[in-house]
A and B are shown apart, each in its own frame.
Chain A
Amino acid sequence: MSAEAAAAPAAAKTGGWEPKIVAFCCNWCSYGGADSAGMGRFQQPASTRIIRVMCSGRIDPLHVFNAFLEGADAVLVTGCHIGDCHYVNGNDKTKIKYKYLENVARELGIEKERLQLNWISASEGEKFANFIRDVTAQIKKLGPSPLKPEGVA
């Protein structure tokens, strides 16, 4: 068992506000990465809800914004490493589309920690877990998203 896993019981007791994070994962890489994190029992905060799409190219800014408007404290856009796309180059398109997203989010005043892009392969379970842990810690510092509607958890 990893060091993180062993340390988890102590962390669990601290409790406090748990952010809600929506992670979009592509079927072939990052979703598999999340599975690998499970198989490796890499413990993570219970902050994230994964939504599976076939390719990161399918992650529509529409969905990202909707997640924020519904109350997401952070939204993660994830996919295969560049060059490894199951559909040749869907993630290259994601990379550019993400630039638009990022700019619009930034201009709207959404902090950069709340919208993140990461390439995670199906074998990178530990990377996935570390990513979730890092983002959750960052968001805990920032507090709830300014776009979160009243009364939503």
Chain B
Amino acid sequence: MQKSEMYVGWSTKEDVRKRGGSGGLVTSMLAAALEKKLVDAVVVLKKINEFEAVPIITSDVNEVLNSAGSLHSVPSNFAKLIANRNLKVALPAKGCDVRGIIEQGKRNAINLDNTFIVGLNCGGSMHPVVTREMLEVMYKLKPEDVHGEEIEKGKLIFETKDGKEHAITIDELEEKGYGRRESCRYCTIKVPNNSDIACGNWGVTGDLVGKATFVEINSEKGAKLLQNAIDAGYVQVQKPDEKGIAMRAKIKGVMEDLGKKWKGKVFVPIDNGRLEYFRKELEHCIDCGACKAVCPTCSCGDVSKCTEYHFRGDAYKMSMYHLVRFLHLADACIGCGQCSDVCPVDIPLTRLYRRFANPVQEQLKYEPGMDMRKPPYFEVKLNE
């Protein structure tokens, strides 16, 4: 097995295969890595209810096998979870997770040689609080009655405990301010080729639909991970058919185009009153620091340049804290949306950061989190 090869595979464990949305391949691959000591730990989500789950780091194979099941409304980012722990670890990761992990790798907080990143195709995730509200307002359902959810053909479908399905198009939901998180809408990393192995259901065809996962190997580590799972008897694979490969590429293309369209929609240039715009958006900031603490590309501790020179007493027209963060994130922001999620006063921080990051990253032709390239500022060589 080697880089850029593609397969369709599923778990050999009956219960995992049934519980998993797409044949339980990812879960089994992670479990096999742990079982065969390829890694010492695995990160999985432990479900609390349909809308909430907590990521845990475990070395228990059974805990991994029991974790199967997908939730669209758990947007947490794993990069900071495994940072500075010096773990030999395998973990599932959405595109933004992968980017966060790579950025932590560049900042020496994660050893990428010891980190097996199982990328998950991602069309977007939802905020749990928004999801509950949406169920009540749009679907007229009680959140407690919901049993499962699924995205199919542009529709978000909820299954209730009575076995019924309730579908509304995502476009309609998002028009009303529900649906995916804003940063997911304009995200263009749908198939995480920056991970070691990219997994998802796009490209699974025929009888296998819903029962298998389509994988693309992105690195030697990815090949090792899959081969290990096959050798351990956890996973079976076969070559995908041409139709599947084409289908996957098409979905990827459509999703990326949609992302770009959203980007244009969200980041309408502000011709006048830019300063007033930022001041207005930030006026309710309570200086809690949550946005920095959660940021997967920030590797600073409690003390950092953004916090140390910021004082509530200053009669400044802009926050020193935010200004320094705007600058520090200009080449680092991966647009994961975590800061907006955690802000207790609902400042759309990701949108603000991207306002600065978009032009800088475009000008410098530098996309953080996509590869190991260091920001241009750190690449100045002697005699340039």
Contacts and interface: CB of A to CB of B under 8 A. Distances in A.
Direct contact between A and B in the complex (CB less than 8 angstroms)? yes
A69 B274 contact: no
Interface stretch (A11-19, A33-41, A129-137, A145-153): A145-153
Chain B interface residue count: which class?
A: 20 to 34
Given A69-B320, A146-B275, A149-B317, A99 B363 contact: yes
A65 B323 contact: yes
A10 interface: no
Given A62-B309, A62-B324, A107-B274, A100 B380 contact: no
Instruction: Name the interface size band of chain A.
Output: 20 to 34
Give the interface SS of chain A, mostly helix, strand, loop or mixed.
Answer: helix
A89 B364 CA distance: 19
A100 B330 contact: yes
A92 B381 CA distance: 9
Contacts of B360: 99-100, 103-104
A112 interface: no
Contacts of B381: 89
Contact of B275 (A61, A70, A109): A109
Given A99-B364, A147-B318, A149-B316, A108 B324 contact: no
Contacts of B363: 99, 103
A54 interface: no
A140 interface: no
Given A61-B324, A65-B327, A108-B326, 20 more contacts: A61-B327, A65-B323, A69-B316, A69-B317, A69-B318, A88-B382, A89-B383, A93-B377, A96-B364, A96-B376, A96-B380, A97-B377, A100-B331, A100-B377, A103-B359, A104-B323, A106-B359, A109-B276, A147-B316, A149-B317
Interface of A: 60-62, 65-66, 69-70, 88-89, 92-93, 96-97, 99-101, 103-104, 106-110, 146-150
Interface of B: 270, 273-276, 278, 305, 309, 314-318, 320, 323-324, 326-327, 330-331, 355-356, 359-360, 363-364, 376-377, 380-384
